[in-house]
Structure 1
């Protein structure tokens, strides 16, 4: 039975984009939208913290031509259960929980049945936490995310935050954390394997710490000499500045795997030159073409593999939370008020953050 009965549709305070119906270019502004009370096995969560993801920047500006307006971003959500509907069995009021990139899926396709709702092959794919269809059949859109006072989610898509974990720092584990954990886990490498992490931003800095905790010898790959010291402090053994030809030459064919976390278009060929024969590079974060066409000879000559990855599965999402709690891994975050989110978005465009913005949603009441 529900511990708290909520029967109304409630107007929820939030910060959104395009809320006046205009095209991209507006600043995030205060808005309201209607959120239904939890029903069935849904959980009502008061949002405490929400990370600012690089995908928020792309979607807010409609750079992928996918944005549904109005848009309320946020899919790195840490909160506290406020109410549960009658069929909820996994959570109770007061539990500290997390919500990542998905809040539902078709639940009947092969990927969903195998625990990979992130690869849902239903008509509209997984139900995204924001900028998605509210129901998997596409009958209603759009979903509104964590830049808001609360969110309603099916309990199967709610994650437990380990006891004692810093709640603000936990938020990025729900998107970039699991996004890097999944590929690193699939590499299935032995201790001492030489793993390259390309791009030392939000996802990359987490990947360095996780890969090291998994037993890898980590090489950070960055275009910025200024990130060398930070990468070493995070646990990297080596740092390659990819704009330095001597660095690239010195480390040619030295890595067992590369995980690239670079969100903007780049030339993949030079990175492939760092791999050993028959090694693998996984590109996550980039959701578009590379800056230069890839000559397949770059792969075929050494039997290399180039893979893609996007958001993580629900099992991996819980695993990464537990893994990071066990190993004392926390993303480095800058906590901001919601009033400063537009400045944060602009700073993120310029890569001016070490390494992740997280919004304290208690500030929404003063917005």
Structure 2
């Protein structure tokens, strides 16, 4: 065991505050990591406030973790002390089901062990996330951060990046395809960059005219203001794919009508019942698909990091001290961040 320090919520109504705790001793296949940076995901806010009803307290968020290896277990072969590495949304899975064998650990049939607020598969302890100074993770769930990537801005790729890259890759987005990105937050701005790098023609849907210049700055070829009925009507049956990153309730029906026949609307931001109801005719009559996608497996997470290094893709971030985390949560809730907060974990010792 080793002493660790982080910021955690003790209840759904308490602010995050310093918490001393213990990380486990190294198992044979474990990697110990000093955390340098940790991204702040909207899921962290949902969990800390128990908005999904699955929180376990004390709850220490953080699943966009970047740091350096400080020790390895005797069975570790891929990493050594000093390597720059990352840990994303998962730290374990059953490793033997069909999904795990297919490198799709996020769909583990027994359920993946998430980076925080999930029972450890070995000792049953509550996993604690990256709003802390160190972490211990099985080698299989550690990825290498390419030297070409700046460590701080690489952190959100481990969630925001893989969440948008995985479905675009899965559905085969390529040159000639027309892709619509719904929403332009932490996920959406990464979706623009990935779809463009894959060769697609990219259109951003936004509710606000004021976001049009920013969408073009992020690389969008076109922008549709979704509150403008004429613009929406002009986009009818235009897109091959829609990547829907909007995390709150919104009417899918107008967007579905912008898809070609065989078009695919992919949900990555909403994980609750859809309201208002989807009109089945929008799917049936044009053989459209309404799909969902959850992060990506470990191999694919390494792939997206390498893809970002190759194509010089990075996440737009705002750095903060850990002491500002509660303020950051409020700003994130209000949509006041472009586009991802990243904590400088050196400030934990300040």
TM-score w.r.t. the length of structure 2 is 0.98
> Is the CA contact 2:66–2:86 (under 8 Å) kept in the aligned structure 1?
yes
Matches within 5 A, 1:29-178: 29-122=17-110, 125-135=111-121, 140-178=124-162
Output one character per residue of 1:244-298: Cα deviation in whole Å (capped at 9) or x when no partner.
1121111111111101011112111111011011111110021111221112112
Q: What is the CA RMSD across the aligned residues, in angstroms?
A: 1.0
1:192 Cα deviation after fit: 2.1
1:145 Cα deviation after fit: 0.3
Measure, in 2, the Cα distance between the counterparts of 1:260 and 1:111. 24
2:304 corresponds to which residue?
320
Residue ranges of structure 1 left out of the alignment (5+ in a row): 1-8
1:76 Cα deviation after fit: 0.2
Measure, in 2, the Cα distance between the counterparts of 1:316 and 1:271. 28
Query: How many residues align structurally?
Result: 350
Output one character per residue of 1:4-37: Cα deviation in whole Å (capped at 9) or x when no partner.
xxxxx1221100001xxxx411111001111112
> Is the CA contact 1:285–1:310 (under 8 Å) kept in the aligned structure 2?
no
Matches within 5 A, 1:266-305: 266-305=250-289
Output one character per residue of 1:77-121: Cα deviation in whole Å (capped at 9) or x when no partner.
000001111111100000000000001101111101111111001
Q: Secondary structure at the match of 1:169?
A: helix
Measure, in 2, the Cα distance between the counterparts of 1:310 and 1:343. 28
> Is the CA contact 2:173–2:195 (under 8 Å) kept in the aligned structure 1?
no
Matches within 5 A, 1:240-251: 240-251=224-235
Measure, in 1, the Cα distance between the counterparts of 2:230 and 2:323. 45
Measure, in 2, the Cα distance between the counterparts of 1:301 and 1:217. 25
> Is the CA contact 2:243–2:267 (under 8 Å) kept in the aligned structure 1?
yes
2:189 maps to 1:189: no
Q: Secondary structure at the match of 2:243?
A: strand
2:31 maps to 1:11: no
1:4 corresponds to which residue?
none
Q: Secondary structure at the match of 2:223?
A: strand
Q: Secondary structure at the match of 1:318?
A: helix
1:226 Cα deviation after fit: 2.0
Q: Secondary structure at the match of 1:323?
A: helix
Q: Secondary structure at the match of 1:281?
A: strand
Measure, in 1, the Cα distance between the counterparts of 2:220 and 2:300. 23
1:189 Cα deviation after fit: 3.1
Measure, in 1, the Cα distance between the counterparts of 2:83 and 2:209. 43
1:212 corresponds to which residue?
196
2:313 maps to 1:329: yes
Measure, in 1, the Cα distance between the counterparts of 2:153 and 2:7. 21
Residue ranges of structure 2 left out of the alignment (5+ in a row): none
Q: Secondary structure at the match of 2:165?
A: helix
Q: Secondary structure at the match of 1:282?
A: strand
Output one character per residue of 1:143-174: Cα deviation in whole Å (capped at 9) or x when no partner.
00000000100101100000131111000100
1:313 Cα deviation after fit: 1.1
1:141 Cα deviation after fit: 3.5
TM-score w.r.t. the length of structure 1 is 0.94
Post-superposition, which runs of at least 4 consecutive aligned residues in structure 1 deviate over 2 A? none
Measure, in 2, the Cα distance between the counterparts of 1:141 and 1:243. 48
Measure, in 1, the Cα distance between the counterparts of 2:208 and 2:107. 34
